[in-house]
Amino acid sequence: MRMNPETKDYTIALVKFLLLNNKLISLQQLMEHLDENGLTKYESPRGIAKAVSTLYNELQSSGRGRDADILATSIVEKGGRPAWEKYE
């Protein structure tokens, strides 16, 4: 599952903001935040997890490893572990 370009840019900007402010966001919070801001609607945390995983891979493939790392460490599961570990 892929995010549309607007949602990708927004998500990357959001996780950079979170990093600068030493904050994290859960998959559930990200899913709700994107929906509330009219960017996209996911039916479950698993759907957003797949989209984040795809975005991570796209960033890595395009030479944007730093952005991929920020994405991977800013989004966590309920237990506080990086969410991407669970869905690799």
What residues pair up with 26 in beta bridges, in sequence order?
76
Q: Is 66 helix (H, G, I), strand (E, B) or coil?
A: helix
Span 7-27, average pLDDT:
95
Q: How confident is the model at residue 65 (pLDDT cuts 50, 70, 90)?
A: very high
The total number of structural domains that make up the chain:
1
H or E element in which residue 75 lies: strand 75-76
Whether the per-residue pLDDT at 16 is higher than 70: the answer is: yes
Place of tokens 């991929």: 68
Whether the model clears a pTM of 0.75, i.e. scores above it, the answer is yes
Residue 13 lies in domain = 5-87
Whether the per-residue pLDDT at 86 is higher than 50: the answer is: no
* Pair 75, 82: CB distance under 8 Å: yes
Backbone φ and ψ of 37, nearest 5°: -95, 10
